[in-house]
Chain A
C-alpha cells in the first residue's frame, strides 16, 4: 500500500517569498504524483503533477520536484501571493490502483 505523508500541517510565508510544501511517500511504484489546492467551502482542484520519470515539472509560479532516492517531493511557489493561501494536498497515482491516496494536507498562509 502506498502511504503519502505531509508532515507539516501549516506554513506561513511572507508575500513575495518562496513557499515550499513537502510530501513523502513509501512505495516506489507509482506513475504520477499530483498536487491539489483547496480553498474553504470548495472542493480541491488540480494544481500540478509530476511523472515518475521526471525530477521536475514547472507551471508558471509552481514547480514540483521529485527526489526518488529520498521518496520525497516538494512543491515550490515563487513568488507567493495572498491568493495562494489554501490547503494543499499531494495525491499518489499508480497504475491499476483505484484507491486514490492523499496526504493530510498543508495549510499555507501567505501574509501580505
Chain B
C-alpha cells in the first residue's frame, strides 16, 4: 500500500542547477498533480496531468517542466533552479468517487535553493 511515492525527500541545490523530482502512484489513478507549499500561500498548483499523455499548466508553472512518463509516473523538472523555488513540493493523484474528487498526496520534497 505505497500510495504516492516522491523522491527525494530533501534536496539542496545551488542556483542554476537542475534537478528532477520523481513521483509514482500505484493506485491506477488517471490524474496527477504537482503542488508547492509556501508559508502563508497554501497549496499552489504548478502543473497537472488529467490523463496519461496530457499535461497542463496550473497557477505557478514558470520555471518548471513536467513529464507524464506513463500512467504511474509524473515528474517535475527544474531546469535552472532559483532561490524563489525554495519550497515544499507535493505530488498528488486523484480519484473520483462518492466523496468527490479525492486527492492522495506524497510525503513531500523539501527543496532549498542557495
Chain A residues packing against B (C-beta within 8 Å): 6, 9, 31-34, 36, 41-46, 49, 51, 89, 91, 93, 98-100, 102-105
Question: Is B53 part of the contact surface with A, judged by Cβ < 8 Å?
Answer: no
Knowing A41-B108, A104-B42, say if A32 contacts B99 (CB, 8 Å): yes
The reply to whether B48 and A98 form a contact with Cβ atoms under 8 Å apart is yes
Q: How far is the CB of B39 from chain A (nearest CB, A)?
A: 10
Alpha-carbon gap, A9 to B56, bound state (A): 29
Q: How far is the CB of B56 from chain A (nearest CB, A)?
A: 7
The reply to whether B90 and A34 form a contact with Cβ atoms under 8 Å apart is no
Nearest A residue to B102, CB-CB: A46
Alpha-carbon gap, A39 to B20, bound state (A): 25
A-B contact count (CB 8 A): 67
Query: Which B residues are CB-close (under 8 A) to A36?
Result: 103
Query: Which B residues are CB-close (under 8 A) to A32?
Result: 99-101
The reply to whether A100 and B108 form a contact with Cβ atoms under 8 Å apart is no
Chain B residues packing against A (C-beta within 8 Å): 4, 31, 33, 35, 40-43, 45, 48, 50, 56, 58, 90, 92, 94, 99-108
5 intermolecular pairs with C-beta atoms under 8 Å apart: A43-B107, A44-B43, A44-B90, A44-B103, A102-B42
Nearest A residue to B105, CB-CB: A43
Nearest A residue to B99, CB-CB: A49
Q: How far is the CB of A39 from chain B (nearest CB, A)?
A: 10
Knowing A43-B107, A99-B58, say if A34 contacts B42 (CB, 8 Å): no
Query: Which B residues are CB-close (under 8 A) to A31?
Result: 100-101
Knowing A98-B56, A100-B33, A100-B94, say if A46 contacts B43 (CB, 8 Å): no
The reply to whether A42 and B107 form a contact with Cβ atoms under 8 Å apart is yes
